Structure formats: structure tokens, C-alpha cells
Structure 1
Amino acid sequence: MRVFVVGGTGFVGRHLVDRLLQGGHTPIVLSRSSRSLPQGAVFVRGDITREVPDLKGAEAAIYLAGVIRERGQSFRAVHVEGVKNLLLAMREAGVERLLHMSALGARKGTGSRYYETKAEGEELVRQSGLKWTIFRPSLIFGPGDEFFGKILRGLVCAPLPFLPLIGDGRFPFRPVYVGDVAEAFALALERGLFGAYDLVGPKEYTFRELLALVMRTVGRKKPFLPIPLPLMDLLVPLLSPFPFAPITRDQYVMLKEGNTAPPSPELMALLPRPCELAEVLPGYLRC
């Protein structure tokens, strides 16, 4: 199958492009650069936030594009305007099959621009009239990830005698492995799975447990220093605009809410043996 992929050079996209190739498919990857594309993938130069691409010859499309921080591209441009452009391109080319990556917790009224624009993009897909599948992943882990490899690693490896803990650290999460995310997309495409599904890992952790696991993984041992939420509520908006800020306002809002859901029967059928966080972290996390 010839599959048009938006976001195919990103964190999840690289794994999915490899999986599509292994499955005998031809990924057609829209990107501003052909760097890191594997042999067999077809490169199409473009920017989905600025133009309507040509999908002639494609049989399906996958939208993975997303940003965690607004650095050069806004949440709205990537999560909403890009989706609009892809949907228009699909209508023009007669492509009816779409798989879309949203986010667990995406909905209006959260106070998080990330969640709210993800929800807006998801609604565009739901109302498109296409044959669609939406996956809503929790925290995605794996080599090159943002949350574990940068944010938590930065906290644990910082030259401080203590480890800052936001509030009591009881916010729940259910991290999912990037390879399992790619596998879920590929299998949904191959098996004709339609609908919207939360995409989560096999085990739930509190934020405090995640920090403790990262400490054990990198061989550090520090006492926790809880920072009251009212103080964090004041500090984060002040520091968030600066590039050195360890956490943005949006990430803080999402962190306090947690990010978890039970695995659905459909997900367990797709991924009967999902990878567990503690098994994967030692392979790529170092101070």
C-alpha cells in the first residue's frame, strides 16, 4: 500500500516508516528535509502547515505531526491548520483512509493550548466523512523521547543535592513505548481497524514513581524536595517563556492532570505483549 505520511521524520514517524517498509508498504513522507529517511521511503518536500500537498497515487494517509513546545511553529499551525490541509488534499486526490495521532487528554477547556488544539484537529478528522482511525497516546517513551530523555533526565542529573517534586507527585501516567505506537498504527491500517482509541502502556505510575525509576536507571540517589503547587503555579508562568525553562506552562498543566486510561480490548488485541517502561529505559537513559 502507498501511504502518505505527515510527520514521518519525527520521533514516532521514524519508527512507523520503518514498520511500514517491513510490512511491504511504500511510505511517501512529506518533510522539509530528506535527512534520515530509510531506503525505500519516497521523499516529498513540503510543509503541511503552509501548503496543500499532492496525494496522487496514495491509498491512505497518516498524520503524526505534533509539537510539544512552540519553537518556530505554533500548536495551532501543526495540530489544526496542517490537518485542514491534509484533509483538503485527501478530498482532491480521492484518498479515503486516514489514521491520525491525537493525544490522551485532548479536549476543550483544559487550559492547555496543546490539548485544545489537538482536540480541534481530532474533531476535524471525526467530521471529515473519511474512513478514520484516531489514536490518543499517553506519554511516549523510547530513544530520543522528550519527557524521559530530556525533562526527567534533566531533573535527575542536575547538579543538585535534592530532586524537586511537584506537589505530592501523585499524578498518574501510563507510558507507552514508541515501537508499540508504530505497531498499533500499522496494524490498524492493515487490519482495517476504525474508530478512536486511547493508546497506553501496560503499567500505571505516579509522577513520583517515574522520577524514582529514572533515578534508579541512571544510578542516582537523591531525596525528594516537594514544591507546593501554589508556588509552582506562580513560578511556571514566569519561567515558561524562557528557552532554559525545564517545563513550559502547557506541560505543567498537563502534568498536574496526569495522563492515564485503561487499555481497551481493541488495544490489547493489537498489542498483546506491550513493552514495559522499566525494561526499555536502561537501554537509552544515562546521565
Structure 2
Amino acid sequence: MRVLVVGGTGFVGRALVARLLQGGHTPLVLGRTPRDLPPGAVFLPGDITREVPDLKGAEATIYLAGIIRERGQTFRAVHVEGVKNLLEGMRRTGGGRLLHMSALGTRKGTGSRYYETKAEGEELVRASGASWTIFRPSLIFGPGDEFFGGVLRSLVCSPLPFVPLIGDGRFPFRPVYVGDVAEAFAQALERGLEGTYDLVGPKEYTFRELLELTMAAVGRKKPFLPIPLPLMDLAVPLLSPLPFAPITRDQYLMLKEGNTAPFPEALRDLLPAPKSLEEVLPTYLRC
């Protein structure tokens, strides 16, 4: 199957392109730069936020494009305008299957621009008239991830003699492995699965436990220094616009809410043995 992948050069995209190739498919990767695509993948230059893509020859489309920080691109451009352009391209060529990556916790009324724009993107997909599948992953981990390999690693590996802990650190999360996310998309494509599904890993952790696992993976042991939430509530909006800010306003709002859900029974056949943090983190985290 010839599959257009929007965001195929990103963190999840690279894993999914590799899985599609293993399944005998031809990924058509739409992006601004090719970034060393593997043999068999076809690069299509384009910017989904600015132009309607030519989908001629694509039998299905997977929209993975997403940002967690607004650096040069806005949430609205990537999560809403890009989806609009893709759907217009599908309309011009007669439709086809659409698989869309949203995020766990997505809904309106959260105060998070990330969630709000993701919710708008979901609404566009559902109203498109296409055959669609929406996956809502929790935190995604694996080599190259931004949360464990970026945010948590920087906290644990900093020269400080302690690890800052937001509040009491009890916010719950259920992270999912990037390879399992890719497998879910590929299986849904091949089986014709439709609907909206939360996508989580096999185990729930608190934020404090995520920091402890990160420390164990890199071989560090430091005490925690709890930072009261009222202080964080004041500091984050002031620091968030700065380029070196360790956490943005949207990330902070999502962190306090937590990010967890039960593992969907409908996905048991697709992911019979999802990987856990304990298996994967030590394979790629280093200070």
C-alpha cells in the first residue's frame, strides 16, 4: 500500500516509516527536509501548514505532525491548519483512509492551547466523511524522545545536588513505547480499524517514579527538592516564553493534570505485549 505520512521525519514518524517498510508498504513522506529517510521511503517536499498536498497515488494517509513547543510554528498551524490542508487534498483526490495522531487528554476547556488545538484537529477528522482512526498516545518514550531524553534527563543529569520535584510528584502517567505506537498505527491501517482510541503503556507511574526510573537508568542517585505548586504557578508563566525555559506553560498545565487511562481492550490484539519503561529506558538514556 502507498501511504502518505505527514510528519514522517519526526520521532514517531521515523519508527512508523520503518514499520511500514517492514510490512511491505511504500511510505510517501511529506516534509520540509528528507532527514536521511531509509531506502524504500519516498520523500515528497512540502509544508502541510502552508499548502494543500497532492495525494495522487496515495491509498491512505497518516497525520503525525505535532509540536509541544511553539518555536517558529504555532499549535494552530500544525494541529489545525495542517489537518485542514490535508483534508482538502484528500477531497480533491477522492478520499482514502485517514489515521490521525492526537494526544491523551485532548479536549476543549482545559486552558492548554496544545490540547485545544488537538481537539479542533480531531473534530475536523471526524467531520471529514473519510474512513478514519484517531489514536491518543500518552507520553511516548524511546530513543530520541523529548520528555525522558530531554526534560527528565536534564533534571537528573544537571550539576545540582538535588532533583527538583514539582509539588508532591503524585501526578499519574502511563507512558507508551514509540515502537508500540508505530505498531498500533500500522496494524490499524492493515486491519481497517476505525474509531478513537487512547494509546498507553502497560503500567502507570507517578511523576516522582518517572524521575526515579530516569535516575536508575543513568546511574545517578540524588535527593528530591519539592517545589510548592503555588510557587510553580507564579514562576512558569514568567519563564515559559524564554527559549531556555525547562518547561512551558502548556507542559506545566498537562503535567499537573497527569496523563493516564486504562489500556483499551480493543487494542489487545494489536499490542499483546507492550514494552515498559523498565525494559527500554536503560538502553538509551545516558548523562
* Shared fold, TM over 0.5: yes
- Alpha-carbon offset, residue 34 of structure 1: 1.6
Superposed counterparts of 1:73-222, under 5 Å: 73-222=73-222
Measured in 2, the distance between the counterparts of 1:267 and 1:201 equals 11
* 1:95 shift after superposition: 2.5
Between the aligned partners of 1:102 and 1:36, the Cα distance in structure 2 is 25
Give the C-alpha shift of residue 162 in structure 1. 1.1
Q: What does the per-residue CA deviation read over 1:119-146, in whole Å, with 9 as the maximum and x for residues that have no partner?
A: 1101100111110000000000000000
Which runs of 5 or more residues in structure 2 are unaligned? none
Secondary structure of 1:270 counterpart? coil
Q: Equivalent residue of 1:259, what SS? A: coil
Q: Would the aligned equivalents of 1:58 and 1:95 in 2 still touch at CA under 8 Å?
A: no
Paired AA for residue 6 in structure 2: V
Write the distance in 2 (CA, Å) between the matches of 1:283 and 1:171.
Answer: 25
Query: TM-score, normalised to structure 1's length?
Result: 0.99
Specify the code of the residue in structure 2 equivalent to 1:59: E
How far apart are the structure 1 equivalents of 2:278 and 2:248?
26
Q: In structure 2, what is the equivalent of residue 225 of structure 1? A: 225
How far 1:213 sits from its partner (Å)? 0.8
**How many Å apart are 1:96 and its aligned residue?**
2.2
- 1:226-257: CA deviation from partner (whole Å, max 9, x where unpaired): 11100000000111111111101110000000
Q: How does 1:42-61 map to 2 (within 5 A)?
A: 42-61=42-61
Conserved 8 A contact 1:54-1:89: yes
**Local SS of the residue matching 1:29:** strand
Alignment match, 2:241 = 241
Residues 49, 77 of structure 1: 8 Å contact kept = yes
Once residues 233 and 75 of structure 1 are traced to their aligned partners in structure 2, the CA distance between those partners, rounded to angstroms, is 22
Partner of 2:244: helix, strand, or coil?
coil
3-state SS of paired residue (1:105): coil
Give the counterpart letter for 2:199 in structure 1: L
Which whole-Å CA distance do the structure 1 matches of 2:246 and 2:267 have between them?
33
What is the TM-score normalised by the length of structure 2?
0.99
Any gaps of 5 or more consecutive residues in structure 1? none
Secondary structure of the residue aligned to 1:58 is coil
Equivalences, count: 287
Identity fraction in percent: 83
Aligned residue in 2 for 1:27 = 27
